[in-house]
Amino acid sequence: MSQNYYQKEIETMSTEEMKKLQSEKLVKQVKHVYENVPYYRNLMDEKGVTPEDIKDIDDLHKLPFLTKADLRDAYPYGLLAKPLDECVRIQSTSGTTGRRVVAFYTQHDVDLWEDCCARAITAAGGTKKDVCQVAYGYGLFTGGAGLHGGSHKVGSLTLPMSSGNTERQIQFMTDLGATILCCTPSYAAYIGESLKEQGYKPEDIPLKAGIFGAEPWTEEMRKGIEKALGIKAYDIYGLTETSGPGVAFECSEQSGMHVNEDHFYAEIIDPETGEVLPEGSKGELVFTSLDKEAFPLLRYRTRDICVLSRKKCSCGRTLIKMAKPMGRTDDMLIIRGVNVFPSQIETVLLNEGYEPNYQIIVDRVNNNDTFEVNVEMTPEKFTDKVSEILSMEKSLAGAMKIMLGINPSVHLVAPKSITRSEGKAVRVIDKRKLI
């Protein structure tokens, strides 16, 4: 397969040149942050590091880490490095861990982000001749905006569908001959099922590739989607904190994602000690933006457990590759093959107006995982009608199904009835004996 690159010079740059480019950018980026972000300047001062200590990319380890907690503390403007009148956009997280992150962009930041997405689309075989259906949510969520911008840059005909309304998705897909689909993998699977229900065969639709991300998915899921839609399914990685999707993307090899390391430098650290681990080690993924203006983050801990590799890639790209994240430093569960983070449950609860007082109970009965979520009833939600409480449980289960892809059985329970040990609620009870 012949390879197309969106920015060939960067994407196939030699490791030495890349290091030089990263070093030059990092020195400037650190100076910019130190001068404009008092929050991070304090962290550096506490650690006794000055911008002068950062002479090249190998000095990166001297800098302090940023965590989700820092973003929360600094919300909303504490990490902003440009005056607001130079910013042109904000995006925000879905609040996967319960708190929103608001990221700011200058036009330069939007451009580099869209370039990253354009690289991803091109790597998936996208050109100006393609029709790119963007079925990620539009709005604060970075998925829609990022791939939309990337598709424009590639010059594809962009269908700004946003998520949902599957019937309309399918109508546009078939009537307008979409060749590339961008959405979450679970939505891609759902579209696949809906197409089948409507009597379409994979060969009836012109789709050839899909770019799927924003949630964990497995190789099995990839195979299923590829078969159902008759496409190649490519993974894309990103987080609102760094820009959005496009921090890393898959190429024709479909084994690991190339990190756009001219913009985002990746490190793997030991999550316990913070020590940088050598290439090939499993640890926590840390990103440093190298040339962002409005919302630069230095050494941001993603909590994703990951491995980096510089092994030569058949696609010709020299950008370092990251494996699909293989877990989290927080307490992820795998239930019926699906990754479930307690934080996702928490997000649903907050979105639905509940307190984050819940307990997940997982068991295995007849080789099947059972998945229960107990949620404490709140004074605001409490009603004297049994039918309403039952329908609240049902609607919570529905919202969790949308977030997680699997259906829990939800029980509303009395306040403070969830087991607490030493004052801290026990969030997860896993009764499965899998060994």
Partner 1 sequence: MAIKQLTVFVQNRKGTVVSLTDILAKNNINIRALSIAETEEFGILRLIVDNEDTAKEILKENGYLIKTIDVVGVKLRDNPGALTAALGVLDKADINVEYLYAFMARTEKHAYVVLRVEDNDAAETALENAGLHLITNADICKL
Q: Which residues of the chain form contacts with partner 1 (CB under 8 A)?
A: 377, 379, 382-386, 389-390, 411-417
CB nearer partner 1, residue 17 or residue 388: 388
CA distance 235 to 212: 5
Residue located via tokens 């030493």:
422
CB nearer partner 1, residue 47 or residue 431: 431
CB nearer partner 1, residue 173 or residue 377: 377
Which amino acid makes up residue 312? K
Residue 382 CB, shortest distance to partner 1, in Å, is: 5
CA distances from 308 to 12, 111, 254, 279, 326 (A): 17, 26, 15, 6, 12
CA distance 257 to 248: 5
In a 13 Å sphere around the CA of 397, the CA atoms on its Cβ side amount to 16
CB nearer partner 1, residue 1 or residue 386: 386
Contact 29, 291 (CB under 8 A): yes
Residue 361 CB, shortest distance to partner 1, in Å, is: 12
Determine which helix (DSSP H) or strand (DSSP E) holds 7, and give its type and residue range. none
3-state SS assignment for residue 45: helix
Q: Which residues contact 378 (CB under 8 A, 6 or more apart)?
A: 353, 354, 355, 415
Residue 369 CB, shortest distance to partner 1, in Å, is: 20
CB nearer partner 1, residue 41 or residue 381: 381
CB nearer partner 1, residue 312 or residue 385: 385
Handedness of CA 143, 145, 146, 148 (dihedral sign): positive
CA distance 223 to 11: 27
Residue 417 CB, shortest distance to partner 1, in Å, is: 6
Residue located via tokens 């197409």:
195
Residue 301 CB, shortest distance to partner 1, in Å, is: 38
Residue 386 CB, shortest distance to partner 1, in Å, is: 5
CB nearer partner 1, residue 416 or residue 433: 416
Handedness of CA 270, 68, 137, 200 (dihedral sign): positive
Q: Structure tokens of 75? A: 């919300």
CB nearer partner 1, residue 118 or residue 396: 396
CB nearer partner 1, residue 84 or residue 390: 390
Residue 429 CB, shortest distance to partner 1, in Å, is: 16
3-state SS assignment for residue 288: strand
Residue 413 CB, shortest distance to partner 1, in Å, is: 6
CB nearer partner 1, residue 215 or residue 376: 376
CB nearer partner 1, residue 59 or residue 355: 355
Residue 352 CB, shortest distance to partner 1, in Å, is: 17
Residue 372 CB, shortest distance to partner 1, in Å, is: 10
Q: Nearest-5° angle of CA 363, CA 365, CA 366?
A: 150
Residue 411 CB, shortest distance to partner 1, in Å, is: 5
Question: Which residue from 197, 170, 196 is spatially nearest to 181, judged by alpha carbons?
Answer: 170
Q: What letters, b where the CB count within 10 A reaches 16 and e where it falls short, cover 408-429?
A: bebebeeeeebeeeeeeeebee
Q: Structure tokens of 334? A: 């795998």
Parallel/antiparallel/unpaired status of strands 300-306 and 308-309? unpaired
Contact 69, 75 (CB under 8 A): no
